[in-house]
Amino acid sequence: MRIKMIDVDEMWFVVTVARGSGAAKVDHPGVCGKSVATALREIAEQLDALHPPYPCDPEPEPQHDYAEPLGPGGTLDAARRVWTDGTGHSWDLSGRWIAAETGGEWEWSGRLDTSGRPVMRAVGSDAQESLDVLRVVYGPISPSAGGRS
């Protein structure tokens, strides 16, 4: 199971559709329902126009290919700014990391969370997430130019 966090207060409206049952829910706090309906009709027209003239594949491909979990524990070499996760993978915290989901850059804040994982900070923002949450929510992540994983 993957968990994505969406701040509905930052969105004009949010539509969620359950896999399998197709049950849909539309959250549109403070937005006129008629305006949301108009936007959804426009989206439906765009999707219809882009659809190929043949049937869809029955099962969509996964949207993300996340790396293995970081594993329990981990050690920090503060002098080298390298954190080694519980699986033995070393993470270079001296550079920036690019999140595939947003294209945003993240850097180490210099702190570890209560689980001992590096706390990453979004460049140009106050947003902070632990490395494992960053990878699941915004990943996969890759080193910015010149960095190494």
What pLDDT does 115 receive? 83
Extract the tokens encoding 130: 């632990």
Mean pLDDT for back-to-back runs of 10 residues, the chain (149 residues): 66 82 85 93 90 66 49 81 85 90 90 89 92 85 67
In this predicted structure, what is the pLDDT of residue 40? 93
> What is residue 143's three-state secondary structure?
strand
Answer for the pair 136, 67: CB distance below 8 angstroms, yes or no. no
Instruction: Identify the DSSP state of 146.
Output: T
Residue 55 DSSP class? P
**CA gyration radius, the chain:** 20
Facing residues of 44 across strands? none
Residues 4 and 137: beta-carbon distance below 8 Å: yes
- Output the pLDDT for position 120: 94
Concatenate the DSSP letters of all residues of 83-106 into one string.
EEETTS-EEE-SSEEEETTT--EE
pTM beyond cutoff 0.85: no
Please give the pLDDT value at position 145. 66
